Every structure is written in structure tokens, then in C-alpha cells.
Amino acid sequence: MKLPSAFPLALAAAGLATATGLRAENPPSMNQTYGLVIHGGAGVILRQEMSAELEARYRDALTQARDAGYAVLARGDSSLDAVVAAITFMEDSPLFNAGRGAVLNADGICELDASIMDGRTQAAGAVAGVHHIKNPIRLARAVMEKSEHVMFTGDGAETFARTLGFEFVPNEYFQTELRRRQLEKAQQLEAGKKSAAALHERVTFATVDDNYLIDQIKHGTVGCVALDQHGNLAAGTSTGGMTNKKFGRVGDSPIIGAGTYASNATCAVSATGWGEFFIRLSVAHDIAAQMEYRQTPLAAAADATIAKVGKLGGDGGVIGIDRAGHVAMSFNSPGMYRGYRLSTGAGAVEIFGPAQ
Ligand code: ASP
């Protein structure tokens, strides 16, 4: 089956910021609304190709990740803690392209990237190309809180982790049979390719058969954005990057301003998609900039930025939340694993795009 090349842009679940006050079980706080949004990657995720059983597994994992983060917020803890809780859950699940279940690079190993940003202080931390850190999002947070730098890569990042007593795992811990088959398929497709764009085209819009096996060959990154009861925003992203990546390739996920951004002045954003495009367009910061300089509402800003990604030839999506509790989930791929939950009672877990 050939997919249409342009899908209707974006679902924007917005406008849920009514100040309802806190529920009785919540501790007193300064903030009227709190909540979070998560994603588990965007890509060729097709309703007709996903079995009811697999869909149920994804919905369950997304719900558990979302609720793990929400529980942190509900007890009055920070948006940073909530982001780490939700992402850690998805890193530990083999369903997502982060931590265990991450995609394999061209050498057949998992190479992980992650970043986090604190909207209150605009402090940030990131790691790229780590091979043995069980939960890269935690190491990104340690870079932010326990070093005077923003990003560490590869062996250096792992040496830093060792000084802090981080949990190390063999690379095989991350690797799964499905990802091995996806790598084989990607390498077969590559053997006949002419350019990176042609490969992407073939991988993304291949036959039903191919899609069935490789629907997440490119995407599956996880992310979370949160607003806590104190009115502070935070964002985080974690990924194995893209299947068959080479030469130490790093995508947008660990790049502050591209894959992750947070500022209490505007919003918190986490991205997923074809990372090269997200880097070139500084996607996460572009959304915040529209809010800051033009007072564009979050959902409209997210849609506009994703439209720019599409125009340049890229695909993927973003999630965002602002200080009033407006949320955005915008994407130009057929689907994006996503969910949100707010203290207003609003919430949902979704997989497919509006066109399906
Ligand atoms: N953005 C990630 C990267 O390019 C991939 C993804 O979101 O699935 O590394």
C-alpha cells in the first residue's frame, strides 16, 4: 500500500486551562492546574496493521507511564521528578525506542541519547551515545544537577556516571529481537538505496509487509512535558535514535532547543521524528519563540512548527504544555503514541492520527 505523502496536520488537544482549584486530596499549592503530556514516538503507525493485542499493550504502557508521572505531580513533587518518572517507565518498557527496546545502530548495538530541561531555571542536561546506562534520562538529569556542563557524550558520559554510582547494564540488556529484525530490514533496503532521503521514503512508505515489520524503524523516541503544582515546567526526551545510524550520529533528542526545551516564560516541549529536520529547525525552541515573541497560543505554535518540518521534508511530532495547563500534541506522521492527564480531570491516551 502506498500512503499519501501528506497527512492532515496535527491533532491539537488544547484549551483545558480553566482554573478549577485543587481536588481535596491534593496538598495546597500556588498553581491552579497541573498535569503532563507524554509521547512514545511518532511514525507510520497504522490502525489496520496493528493487532488489537498490540494496541492494547501500547495503550496500557502509555497509561502506566503517564500515570506514574501524574502521581508524582499529584503528591506535590516537581515537574522534573514527574518527567523522569514517566520517561524511566518508558525506557524500561521494550515497546519504545528508548532504554530497553531501543533501535540498533549500524554496528548492531544500542546507542542512547537523552536530555532534560528545567523551565524554572532553564538549567539543562544531556547525554549522547551512551551504551551501558540503564536509564539515560537520569544521567541527563545528573549532568544538569551535578556538573557545570550541559552535555556529555559517549565514554566521557559513562565515566561521569561511574563517579556517581550509576547503574550500568551490558548493551545486550537494551537489545530485542524485533529491533534486530528491523535493522536487518533497514540494511537490506539500504543496499538498494540512492540517498538518505530515498531510504527514508522507502522505509516510511514501503509496502504493507515492510511497514508491518518496521513501522517504528525510524521513530519511537519517548518524551514527557510537565507542569507541577508550583507552576514550574519541565521537559525531557530519551531515544535510541534511528535504526542503522552510523558514525556516532546524534539526532535532535539530546539537543536542547531541538528535541527538548522548557521555560516557565513560555512552555515545555519534547519532540520525536526525523531528527535531522528537528535540529535544523530548532523545533522545540521555535515553538517557545512563537509564544514569547508573538504571543501565539501553544497549540497553534506547535502546529506551525510541525508544518515547517513537513515543508522541509521531515516528519514527526511534538508534545507541549504551558503554565496555564494548555496542552499540544501535534504531528504530521500517520500516528504518534501519546497521552496526557490534567488535574482538571481531562486526559486521554491515543495512538492514531485523525486521518485514520
Ligand atoms: N528524533 C529521534 C532521532 O532522530 C528519533 C525519533 O524520534 O524516533 O534520533
pLDDT tens digits, one per residue of 102-122: 999 999 999 999 999 999 999
The pLDDT of residue 223 is 98
97 CB near ligand 1 (under 6 Å):
yes
The candidate with the shortest Cα–Cα distance to 314, out of 217, 187, 218, 206, is 218
Whose Cα sits closest to atom 7 in ligand 1?
Answer: 272
Pull the grid cell for residue 274.
526525523
How many angstroms separate the alpha carbon of residue 1 from the centre of ligand 1? 24
pLDDT at position 324 is 96
Q: Which of the residues are catalytic?
A: 221
Half-sphere exposure of 158 toward its Cβ, with a 13 Å CA cutoff?
16
Whether the CB of 254 sits within 6 Å of ligand 1: no
Q: At what angle do helices 283-294 and 298-312 cross, to 10 degrees?
A: 130
Confidence of residue 21 (pLDDT cuts 50, 70, 90): very low
Report which listed range, 28-42, 209-223, 297-311, is most confident. Answer: 297-311
Residue closest via CA to ligand 1's atom 6 equals 219
Q: What atom in ligand 1 is closest to the CA of residue 220?
A: 8
Number of residues assigned to the chain: 356
pLDDT of 191 reads 79
pTM: 0.88
324 CA → ligand 1 middle, Å: 28
Ligand 1 centre distance from Cα of residue 41 (Å): 8
Q: How confident is the model at residue 134 (pLDDT cuts 50, 70, 90)?
A: very high
Return d(Cα 122, Cα 134) in angstroms, integer. Answer: 25
User: Mind listing the pLDDT tens digit for each residue in 207-217?
Assistant: 334 444 444 45
How big is the CA angle at 236 (ends 40 and 152), to the nearest 5 degrees? 120
List CB contacts of 137: < 8 A, sequence separation 6 or more: 83, 84, 87, 88, 91, 114, 116, 236, 238
Rounded to an integer, what distance in angstroms lies between the CA atom of residue 241 and that of residue 106? 12
- Domain topology for 32-341: Glutamine Phosphoribosylpyrophosphate, subunit 1, domain 1 (3.60.20)
Whether 354 shows a pLDDT value over 90: the answer reads: no
Structure confidence by residue, pLDDT tens digits, 195-253: 455 445 444 433 334 444 444 455 679 999 999 999 999 999 999 999 999 999 999 99
Q: Is 90 exceeded by the pLDDT of residue 51? A: no
Residue pair 287/257 in contact by the 8 Å Cβ criterion: no
Confidence of residue 15 (pLDDT cuts 50, 70, 90): very low
Ranges 89-93, 143-147, 214-218, 232-236: which has the least confidence: 214-218
Pairing verdict, β 327-331 and 335-342? unpaired
Chain centre distance of CA 272: 5
State how far the Cα of 85 lies from the Cα of 285, in Å rounded to an integer: 24
Give distance in angstroms: CA of 43 to centre of ligand 1: 10
Beta carbons within 10 angstroms of residue 163's beta carbon:
10
Atom 9, ligand 1: residue with shortest CA distance: 241
Q: What is the pLDDT of residue 267?
A: 98
Query: What does the mean pLDDT of the chain come to?
Result: 86
Q: State how far the Cα of 182 lies from the Cα of 186, in Å rounded to an integer.
A: 6
- Does residue 243 have its Cβ closer than 6 Å to ligand 1? no
